[in-house]
Structure 1
Amino acid sequence: MSRVCALARPRLAYLSQRGLHHLRHPTRRVVLMAVAALPAAVVLYVLVLIPFTPGIGDIRKARVDQPAQILSADGKVLAEFKPSNREWVPLAQISPHMVDALISTEDHRFYEHHGIDFKRTAGAALHTFSGDRQGGSTITQQLARNLYPDEIGRAPTLTRKIKEAITAFKIEAVYSKPQILETYLNTVPFLYNAFGIEMAARTYFGVSADQLTVLQAATLTGMLKGNAYYNPVINPERALARRNTVLSQMVKYGKLTPAQFATLSKKPLRLDFERQTEPPGPAPHFAQQLRKWLIAWADRNDYNIYSDGLIVRTTIDSRLQAMATASLKQHANQLQGIANGAWSGRNGCSADNDLFKSFMRETPDYKAAHDAGASDADALKKLAADRNFMRGLCKAKTDVQAGFIAIDPRDGQIKAWVGSRDFQDEPFDHVQQARRQPGSTFKAFVYGAAFANGAKPSDTIIDQPVEMPLEGGEIWRPNDDVPPSNKPMSLRDALAFSRNRITAQVMQAVGPDKVARLARAMGVRDSQLNAVPSLALGTSPVTLKEMVSAYSTIANDGVYLEPRMVTRIEDSKGEVLAEFGSASPERALSADADRTLLDTLRDVVNRGTGSSIRTRFGIRADVAGKTGTTQDNADGWFILMDPQLVAGAWVGFDDGRVTLNSDYWGQGARSALPIVGDFFQRALRQRIVDPRARFDTEVTPGAFEQFRARLKTWMDSLFGSKQAEAPRPLTPIKRAPAPEPSEVPPSSGVQAASAAASEAAASEAAAASAILNGVSPPASNLPPILGPSGASHAAAAQPATPPSSQQPPYPAQEPSLAPTPTPDDNDSSGGAPAQYTPPQNN
């Protein structure tokens, strides 16, 4: 083996020396082969890169900037989905000075080449190799970069230049020269989110593209060499010098005379700078949510929402949208004035306010001062002395916010959507994005579940102190703003006047799980609901859209329809691409229980916490609804149902710790209700909503109920007595501890009467609880249960009279055991969330 290696070494050395000799002294054949291989390699490399450049089809679509148009149900434009802040203008509407300046400076042989100016490219290469780097891109090549930055790239490499050249040839094959100029001028960026010559002219000079003067056109053309470097706003000297360079180029290529140049070059820039913001449109929050949905639909169906000219027909009624926007802005602005007064002075936005002091500690400014070594007191003192800081923090925390949505319950179409007072100041959507405690508006699901179990609006429960043991040894004690009367109150009155103690007992009888299931079935499907007793008072945060959707189910005879935003999508020629009908109906609550609930919610408006709908706004239509207020008046709610439209509003602050500091204005009946009331008043006056429409709340007894009623009547007439039914077992409601006998003042028979009354009250509560479980109470020697009128019922065990569809759509002056509220009375406890011992986190 070693011998073979020894013999091979001289051979290898010879070959190596010979190879070096050929490299140093190549033959003619080798030279010719090398010269021929170089262009072949270049051609091969170009062929390899072609598949990685945009296709002809993509290029044809790119020039036609046709953003999706979003139309209302009545044909009004709500929004256009543009990829950037750009407005396309045809070449005929662009100043000829701009075209002359562009061609003279960027590509003076534009009309002579086919995408690549080889002479200019070679000159630029020579300058670059000599150390003076120059650009040699034509307008077409620049357009290729602007249209396809991802496919071509921006790195200064040979690969990028080749891909740019290939794409430029393709563009020249598809577009005419005027089309290339038009496309280029409408796609080139000019800083400050201004794309295209039209937005640039408005941004820097306050004119349209067709009004640009020679100086203005030269200034904008000069920016193309480097937007930031030649920015006329922050670098006016550089921009002025570059503008004059452009003017000299125009002289060189015959677009200006030397005399004109001498005059123009001495003039200042004279900017009229103003950032251009895209107008939000009449339904910006709705459009914001629709854009997300439409992008997903377009991706699934191979469409581009920015260039395919889609026409999206939505469910929004432009008239109702305008009314909703006006109503929300008007009443929220009034509340802002109240909030400003409440948060002014030493007890408001100042370091003397403990809550505001907490806000100060949460800011980056405080953190920076603290990290720099300042003590807590010193950091707070320094921030408090900064008026701009304090003013900005105060505004951020105390700006009143609101949300509004209206849905047609018959088909689930969303008719109006307002997500905040001002989209430009607050783009956050308080309809679908914000989750807040719904307060007493959630009580509808508690009573709905009770009616589904067979309870009647006339059934009564004792208004008494309530204690409910919870996991972990805690005790929940729901309260109202009035002391307990220890008298029976009907479910109708309890819902109309929003009594928490009664609702808590109803919740205990029905069960939190059943209430949570009903709420989900009716429309609260995205937010998590904690199935605990305090859920009865709305302690689980939900969205306004979910709540109005659920109330639409109530207005639709207990049938849930998923809310929808779009009815049809068409292409740019009007051909229908997709249609979207109503979602499949889902039965959430039986028709009889739903009609009973709806009829009971009428009383909220007729004589309860929402009565200002009648007294203040004069609405006489057949409507029903519910107010809601959370603890410390942090959230105000109101939802109103009409057979043709269900609308709801929320009012509060982005930070739930901030309130109006007003027991009056913070209530849902005075914060959210006026928005809905004003909206409905406008819609009814213009007959967009038919004031003659009526809910059908007639409850038809089933065959079994009819048979049982006839049998009972026959048995009563035959035996002259009532047949009792055995109740189902029910966990008794836990009352608060009664006072010791010694606490009762001694008097003749008082203790005995008190004991009898307590025993009667407890038995009545148990009987009412049995009713809630769908079982008639047992016969007893207790006093008869009191109905809504407060009169004794001898026939308390008989089925309650079903609600009638003939109930007048105006306040019925029905006497009641409940105290009569003022017209604007709100939830009796403000719909306060659960109060635990120890207190819960609300």
Structure 2
Amino acid sequence: MPMAAVAATGTDMAVGVLDQLPDELETGPLDEGSEIYSADGVLMATFYAQNRVPVELDEMSQSMKDAIVSIEDARFYEHNGIDFKGIARAVASNASGSNTQGASTLTMQYVNNVLISRDVASGKAGSDLTLSGTKDLGDKLREAKLAVAVEKEYSKDEILEGYLNIVLFSGQTYGVEAAARSFFGISAAELTPAQSAMLAGMVQSPSHYNPFTNPEGTQARRDTVLAAMLKNGKISQAEYDEAVATGLDLNPQTVVSGCTGAETAQYFCSYVEQTVLQSEAFGADVKERARLLARGGLTIRTTLDSRLQSQAQKQIEAQVPVGDPSGAGSAIVSVEPGTGKILAMAQNTEYTPEPGSGKTQLNFNVDAGMGGTPYGFQPGSTMKPFTTAAWLAAGHKLGDTIDATRTSYPAGFDWKASCLGANAEFDAWKFKNASEGYEKKMTVAEGLTQSVNTATVAQAAQLDLCDIRDTATRMGVHRAVDGEPLEVTSPSFVLGGQEVSPLTMASAYAAFAAGGEYCTPTAITEVTDRSGNDYDVAGGECTRAISADVAAAVTEPLQKLVEGSPGSIHPIGVPAAAKTGTTDMSEQTWTVGYTTGISTASWVGNWNSYSSLNDQSINGVTRSYVDGSALAGAQWTEYMSSVAKLYGAESFPSVPESLR
């Protein structure tokens, strides 16, 4: 039964029915998207279920206000929420069959939009929503009574402001500000009469009056609105003539929700999203947290430095461009020693669910549980400094001479592993050095600088493997697949035989740079909602992992590595230390290094197959042997050369004589 028929049955009957219905509208906050910003204020991404940017009435052009009132409810400023004259007019028009007219006032439409928005926010399915064309008598009566209640509580301007912020214009575009930006690339305050008329005309049927799919119909509807504005004295004849003579003149500005639409640092954006979805601070479960992110109007400020991010992406693509035919992946991630703040996170792929070369949503820099590859990557010799750190903590020195001649250990060798129990057994193990001629006696420092496998294993053979593992664990090293500490059932872990993520390695090396203090990596500094409420976001928690003296001692041979300029690595203009890593067949290659202000992991390898980089054309160059000092080393060197001075780059502390 239409609303007009209710009026025809008599005012007394209508009032009697209305008296039995609720008389208060619970408006609640509008759905509003969340925004992610870099540390230096760059908007990175927007998450929304409804693309909406609420603004006040004085931030909307007068022509927009006039257009919507003229076409939807010309008597808006005269009625009290229910327009009985409008109802009578609609009855007469509909009865004659000349034109179908609705009887809902702007206030009633506002009420209906609020009810729908509230139901959507509560998770009600689309089939359960009360939309136009599906309303029964009770729905229309409820709207009418609530409209009267709204008119008593709010001014006309407040109702108009609410309506223009809540109404659907197209697809996921709600509210006049988002619509103005989406269709014309301007703010609502800048809308001309012609632009305002187009938007006002769309609300009657957003799917039909779509300027992209139905430009002719949309323009005709716009001209109808302009005629209504002229009739109601909101524009002059000259303004009308000028407006109808123009085309739609669209300037579409698409705002894609989520990290696929991020302007920069798409994979860092993904890491931030995962951080929110996995934190109880943002809701009881993942569904509730996702709803908050899409509808709660959060402002998320992060640790990312857009200057570093830009340079990281530049250097990555200089070595292994996006979509390179080799299929090789590359990544850079930087953290700040002493805080754990993630400063940059980049890789050589496009963040998208679409298949194709150079396209993936897997984040090379992070663990599997945070959106990374299923297992991570073997770090090779970048694991060696943790054995040396355990060596020094056990009372040994850098200058100690070790026998690095041995390249095999038999089954039953007496490896010490106190955490495995007395009956632990180990298989036979054979390995080799990357280059011949290093199977000899040398100092611990020489073995680390020259990355001699036999030297590192010789140290491990004199230590407790569990102490080495525990040293690495205190410095944040864990398996990428499950976040658990490295396994010690095989001593090969000291040479990087278990997969980790680049973020893990950058954070661990940051502990060397910070005098032995390890800080968990953190991406978010502050989260507030639209009401100014703060959310409790955990910063990087810092703990003592190794002594400052041990950190200084490990740094010295790593600094000599940079000074020795192996491969593509060379000094970067400030004190720096680094270690390279290469798996047996060059499937994964690394350079991880630091200054006192930035710790960076650079990785180049195969991420979707375990195949060698050797003899592969990468960025047009084929190399017979690719080690960590080649592509990964070039990335690290050029990137750190460009950004190191932006953060503190002081001299490293001296090594105490007791550790020399």
TM-score by length of 2: 0.73
| Structure with more helix by fraction | 1
Structure 2 match to 1:561: 519
Amino acid at match of 2:404: I
Superposed, which structure 2 residues align to 1:185-334 within 5 Å? 185-191=164-170, 193-255=172-234, 268-273=247-252, 275-277=254-256, 280=262, 285-286=267-268, 288-290=270-272, 293=275, 296-297=280-281, 299=283, 315-316=303-304, 318=305, 321-322=306-307, 324-334=308-318
Structure 2 match to 1:184: 163
Distance 1:452 1:196, change over 3 A: same
Q: Does 1:669 align with 2:622?
A: no
Q: 2:624 & 2:573 partners in 1: Cα distance?
A: 21
Superposed, which structure 2 residues align to 1:608-619 within 5 Å? 609=566, 612-614=569-571, 617-619=572-574
Q: 1:581 & 1:473 partners in 2: Cα distance?
A: 41
Structure 2 match to 1:54: 26
Q: 1:130 & 1:469 partners in 2: Cα distance?
A: 98
Distance 1:476 1:114, change over 3 A: farther
Is contact 1:478–1:504 with CA below 8 Å preserved after alignment? no
Q: 2:64 & 2:81 partners in 1: Cα distance?
A: 21
Q: Does 1:441 align with 2:382?
A: yes
Superposed, which structure 2 residues align to 1:564-583 within 5 Å? 564-566=522-524, 583=541
Is contact 1:68–1:308 with CA below 8 Å preserved after alignment? no
Is contact 2:316–2:347 with CA below 8 Å preserved after alignment? no
Structure 2 match to 1:538: 496
Shift of 1:442: 1.8
Distance 1:476 1:110, change over 3 A: farther
Distance 1:486 1:287, change over 3 A: closer
- Give the match's secondary structure for 1:449: helix
Distance 1:171 1:436, change over 3 A: farther
Q: Does 1:414 align with 2:341?
A: yes
Which of 480, 503, 507 pairs up with 2:433? 480
**Where does structure 1 lack aligned partners over 5 or more consecutive residues?**
1-34, 349-396, 701-801, 804-842
Task: Report the number of matched residues.
Answer: 588
Q: Does 1:586 align with 2:581?
A: no
Which of 67, 71, 75 pairs up with 1:109? 75
Shift of 1:91: 3.8
Q: 1:186 & 1:637 partners in 2: Cα distance?
A: 51
Is contact 2:335–2:510 with CA below 8 Å preserved after alignment? no
Distance 1:499 1:486, change over 3 A: closer
Structure 1 match to 2:6: none
Q: Does 1:157 align with 2:116?
A: no
Is contact 2:598–2:644 with CA below 8 Å preserved after alignment? no
Is contact 2:568–2:631 with CA below 8 Å preserved after alignment? no
Structure 1 match to 2:5: none
Superposed, which structure 2 residues align to 1:479-498 within 5 Å? 479-483=432-436, 486-498=439-451
Q: 1:612 & 1:488 partners in 2: Cα distance?
A: 26
CA RMSD in angstroms, aligned pairs only = 4.5
Structure 1 match to 2:420: none
Distance 1:650 1:314, change over 3 A: same
Q: Does 1:402 align with 2:331?
A: yes
Structure 1 match to 2:421: none
Structure 1 match to 2:320: 336
Q: 2:470 & 2:323 partners in 1: Cα distance?
A: 38
TM-score by length of 1: 0.59
Distance 1:260 1:560, change over 3 A: closer
Amino acid at match of 1:233: F
Structure 1 match to 2:123: none
Q: 2:523 & 2:165 partners in 1: Cα distance?
A: 32
Distance 1:171 1:534, change over 3 A: farther
Shift of 1:414: 0.8
- Give the match's secondary structure for 1:405: strand
Q: Does 1:637 align with 2:595?
A: no
**Where does structure 2 lack aligned partners over 5 or more consecutive residues?**
1-10, 120-128, 353-359, 413-423, 617-621
Q: 2:145 & 2:524 partners in 1: Cα distance?
A: 42
Superposed, which structure 2 residues align to 1:87-126 within 5 Å? 87-120=53-86
Shift of 1:576: 8.3
Q: 2:100 & 2:410 partners in 1: Cα distance?
A: 82
- Give the match's secondary structure for 2:603: strand
Superposed, which structure 2 residues align to 1:322-401 within 5 Å? 322=307, 324-336=308-320, 340=324, 343=325, 397=327, 400-401=329-330
Superposed, which structure 2 residues align to 1:440-519 within 5 Å? 440-457=381-398, 458-466=400-408, 469=411, 476-483=429-436, 486-510=439-463, 512-519=465-472
Shift of 1:689: 1.6
Q: 1:191 & 1:657 partners in 2: Cα distance?
A: 47
Shift of 1:402: 1.8
Q: 1:267 & 1:37 partners in 2: Cα distance?
A: 50
- Give the match's secondary structure for 1:419: strand
Distance 1:259 1:607, change over 3 A: closer
Is contact 1:527–1:543 with CA below 8 Å preserved after alignment? no
Q: 1:420 & 1:145 partners in 2: Cα distance?
A: 47
Amino acid at match of 1:625: A
Distance 1:218 1:582, change over 3 A: closer
Structure 2 match to 1:727: none
Shift of 1:262: 7.6
Query: Could you report, residue by residue, the CA deviation over 1:475-500 in whole angstroms, capped at 9, with x for unpaired residues?
Result: 64323332365422333222222223
Q: Does 1:689 align with 2:656?
A: no
Shift of 1:535: 1.9
Shift of 1:441: 1.4
Superposed, which structure 2 residues align to 1:748-767 within 5 Å? none
Shift of 1:230: 2.1
Q: 1:468 & 1:598 partners in 2: Cα distance?
A: 33
Distance 1:178 1:593, change over 3 A: same
Amino acid at match of 2:445: R
- Give the match's secondary structure for 1:228: coil
Deviates more, 1:222-231 or 1:254-263: 254-263
Query: Could you report, residue by residue, the CA deviation over 1:450-487 in whole angstroms, capped at 9, with x for unpaired residues?
Result: 33344433331233432555999976432333236542
Query: Could you report, residue by residue, the CA deviation over 1:495-515 in whole angstroms, capped at 9, with x for unpaired residues?
Result: 222223443444455455443
- Give the match's secondary structure for 1:229: coil
Is contact 1:643–1:695 with CA below 8 Å preserved after alignment? no
Structure 2 match to 1:137: 104
Is contact 1:285–1:417 with CA below 8 Å preserved after alignment? no
Q: 1:677 & 1:325 partners in 2: Cα distance?
A: 15
- Give the match's secondary structure for 1:613: coil
Shift of 1:290: 4.0
Query: Could you report, residue by residue, the CA deviation over 1:790-817 in whole angstroms, capped at 9, with x for unpaired residues?
Result: xxxxxxxxxxxx33xxxxxxxxxxxxxx
Structure 2 match to 1:363: none
Structure 1 match to 2:365: 431
Distance 1:645 1:126, change over 3 A: same
Q: 2:506 & 2:521 partners in 1: Cα distance?
A: 10
- Give the match's secondary structure for 1:627: strand
